[in-house]
Amino acid sequence: MTKEQRFASVWDAIETSPAEAANMKARSELMVAIRKIVDDWKETQARSAKKLGLTQPRLNDLLHGRIDKFSLDALMNVAARAGLSVHVKIRRAA
């Protein structure tokens, strides 16, 4: 009989450490928020990329969720250029 495991997020299930899972969660949340902003602009990818200081292919990677191509630091910078304010919540792990 297999024991069923439950995870708070998919990242907790697939990453090898809590630190890596936390990094991936933050990156994915930033990517989703940036995508929402870009969608609201209703601009071409080329114009949106220029606003964000990215190339169009790089923005395409972001919009298609290619998370492995972006560091947390890079996404924080893009979020700031998109006019987003990012707040970090820090607490002890359970």
Domain residue ranges of the chain, discontinuous segments joined by +: 10-81
pLDDT digits (tens, 9 = 90+) for 37-46: 999 999 999 9
Q: How far is CA 26 from CA 48, 54, 72, in A?
A: 22, 20, 7
Whether 29 has a pLDDT exceeding 80, the answer reads yes
Classify 39 as helix, strand or coil. Answer: helix
Strands (E), the chain: none
Give 53-84 pLDDT, tens digit per residue: 999 999 999 999 999 999 999 999 999 999 99
pTM: predicted TM-score of the whole model, two decimal places: 0.83
CATH topology classification for 10-81: 434 Repressor (Amino-terminal Domain) (1.10.260)
Of the chain, the percentage scoring pLDDT greater than 70 comes to 88
